[in-house]
């Protein structure tokens, strides 16, 4: 049994689907608070399996996390749950500190007590895989070398500062208690089931709706893109073979300016969903820049490649095309996200469960 947090989110959801798509058949419990970003629709294809369990719980809830760990007795925890959107962290930083710092602390603490009492060999085999971000390293100038595992932490947004805080706690639990952790710090993900607040789904869905494609600032900020399925594969490698106490930066060597990304999406849409007049690129609109907007992220994935044999299966071109086609072919998921219908089910379901 493995325990996943945040498995109803974008990357966690893809991870859970990939887990059950594989040949092995290990049960999984998904612990998710179902914030606006948690969407059980993503998991509808596996939700009835008898080796899948779901717990609607906040990772900061001490009693519930203790109960869940004791009940399911996981051999590993894969920790995705977080507030993840930089723009939201600028308007509501408190939520980021509560979940990313306090929530991670609570999860570590409850897991450490459980692990402490495990008999061998379960104790030596236990793993806590912490999923983090390259944003903890701050921002790069054009000619700086890419981030690697020894790059100093210089987080610039409340989001990245809260993730840096969680990374530091994870590190301290290894050094102080010998708690068996592995951390991954990944670059920007894209792919199916991403909530339409992040650049790529915003641009695809706005383009199709005839709305402006909002580019912050001058559009020259650079991100290093990795297809979500490749990130999930990297996490599985780190979970299986990552060295204890180590961090692994994860990326696909796909640095693109935001303008390049947006133009690539428009080119694919022009081909697969042509409009009568003109290109989707005509909808590009420059808007006010994000405060403290990091200029460039880039990853040097040499360690995870050489130590764990990580090799992405997608190039940016194949992954982006798959992603655009996914958004074109999954209207129901998109409509329920855009109308908020996916949350109504949760409200009704849990109101019934409480007898309301």
* Residues labelled as active-site residues: 134-135, 159
Q: Does 8 bind ligand NAD (CB under 6 A)?
A: yes
199 binds, among ligand DAU, ligand NAD, none (CB under 5 to 8 A by kind): ligand DAU
Please identify which residue in 199, 207, 265, 324 interacts with ligand DAU, judged by CB under 6 A: 199
Closest distance between ligand DAU and the C-beta of residue 186, in Å?
Answer: 7
Q: How far apart are CA 18 and CA 233, in angstroms?
A: 8
Residue 298 touches ligand NAD, criterion: CB under 6 A = no
Q: Does 58 bind ligand NAD (CB under 6 A)?
A: yes
Q: How far apart are CA 103 and CA 162, in angstroms?
A: 11
Q: What does the per-residue mask of binding to ligand NAD show for 95-124, with x meaning CB under 6 A?
A: ----x---x---------------------
Q: Is 248 in the site for ligand NAD (CB under 6 A)?
A: no
Contact partner at residue 12 from ligand NAD, ligand DAU, none, CB < 5 to 8 Å by partner kind: ligand NAD
Site for ligand NAD in 135-164 (CB under 6 A): 163
- Measured over the CA atoms of residue 201, residue 203, residue 208 and residue 211, the dihedral's sign is positive
Closest CA to 201 of 326, 340, 317: 326
Which among 27-35, 78-86, 97-105, 166-174 is the span making contact with ligand DAU, rule CB under 6 A? 78-86
Sole binder of ligand NAD in the list 2, 3, 4, 11 (CB under 6 A): 11
DSSP string, 65-129: HHHHHHHH--SEEEE--S---HHHHHH-HHHHIIIIIIIHHHHHHHHHHHHHTPPTTHHHH-EEE
Q: How far is the CB of 1 from ligand DAU (least distance, A)?
A: 27
The whole-angstrom separation of Cα 76 and Cα 244 is 13
Q: Which does 58 bind (CB under 5 to 8 A by kind): ligand DAU, ligand NAD, none?
A: ligand NAD
Cα distances from 239 to residues 2, 170, 234, 282, 356, in angstroms, run 11, 15, 9, 44, 41
Residue 216 interacting with ligand DAU (CB under 6 A): yes
Judged by CB under 6 A, the number of residues near ligand DAU is: 19
DSSP state of 41: G
CB-nearer residue toward ligand DAU: 106 or 187? 187
Residue in the shown chain whose Cβ atom is closest to ligand DAU: 133
**By the rule CB under 6 A, 12 interacts with ligand NAD:** yes
**Under the criterion CB under 6 A, does residue 167 sit at the interface with ligand DAU?**
no
* Contact criterion met (CB below 8 Å) for 135 and 297: yes
Token pair for 223: 């991100």
Instruction: From residue 219, give the alpha-carbon distance in Å to each of 143, 212, 262, 295.
Output: 18, 14, 9, 10
3 binds, among ligand NAD, ligand DAU, none (CB under 5 to 8 A by kind): none
Q: Report the run of H or E that residue 5 belongs to, with start and end.
A: strand 2-5
The CA distance from 135 to 186, in Å, is: 9
CA dihedral 85, 87, 90, 93 (to 10 degrees): -20
Binding-site ranges for ligand NAD (CB under 6 A): 5-6, 8-12, 32-35, 37-38, 58-60, 80-84, 99, 103, 131, 133, 163, 186, 188-189, 195
């Amino acid at each position: 049994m493995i325990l996943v947090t945040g498995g109803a989110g974008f990357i966690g959801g893809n991870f859970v689907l990939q887990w059950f798509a594989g040949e092995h058949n290990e049960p999984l419990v998904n612990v998710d608070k179902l914030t606006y970003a948690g969407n059980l629709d993503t998991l509808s294809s596996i939700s009835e399996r008898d080796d899948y369990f779901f717990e609607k719980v906040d990772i900061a809830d001490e009693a519930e996390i203790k109960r869940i760990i004791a009940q399911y007795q996981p051999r590993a925890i894969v920790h995705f749950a977080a507030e993840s959107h930089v723009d939201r962290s600028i308007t509501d930083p408190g939520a980021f500190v509560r979940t990313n710092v306090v929530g991670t602390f609570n999860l570590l603490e409850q897991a450490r007590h459980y692990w402490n009492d495990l008999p061998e060999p379960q104790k030596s085999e236990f793993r806590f895989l912490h999923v983090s971000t390259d944003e903890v390293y701050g921002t790069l100038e054009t000619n700086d070398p890419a981030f690697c595992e020894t790059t100093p932490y210089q987080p610039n947004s409340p989001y990245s500062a809260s993730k840096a805080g969680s990374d530091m706690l994870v590190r301290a639990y290894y050094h102080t208690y010998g708690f068996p952790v592995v951390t991954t710090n990944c670059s920007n993900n894209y792919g199916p089931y991403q909530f339409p607040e992040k650049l790529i789904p915003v641009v695809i869905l706005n383009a199709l709706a005839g709305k402006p494609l909002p580019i912050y600032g001058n559009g020259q900020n650079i991100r290093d893109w990795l297809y979500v399925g490749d990130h999930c594969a990297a996490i599985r490698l780190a979970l299986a073979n990552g060295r204890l106490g180590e961090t692994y930066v994860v990326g696909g060597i796909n640095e693109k300016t935001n303008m390049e990304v947006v133009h690539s999406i428009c080119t694919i849409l022009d081909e697969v969903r042509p409009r009568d007049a003109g290109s989707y690129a005509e909808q590009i609109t420059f808007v006010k820049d994000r405060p403290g907007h990091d200029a460039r992220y880039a990853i040097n994935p040499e360690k995870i490649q050489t130590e764990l044999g990580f090799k992405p299966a997608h190039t940016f071109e194949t992954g982006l095309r798959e992603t655009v086609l996914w958004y074109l072919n999954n209207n129901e998921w998109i409509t329920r996200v855009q109308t908020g219908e996916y949350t109504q089910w949760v409200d009704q379901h849990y109101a019934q469960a409480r007898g309301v």
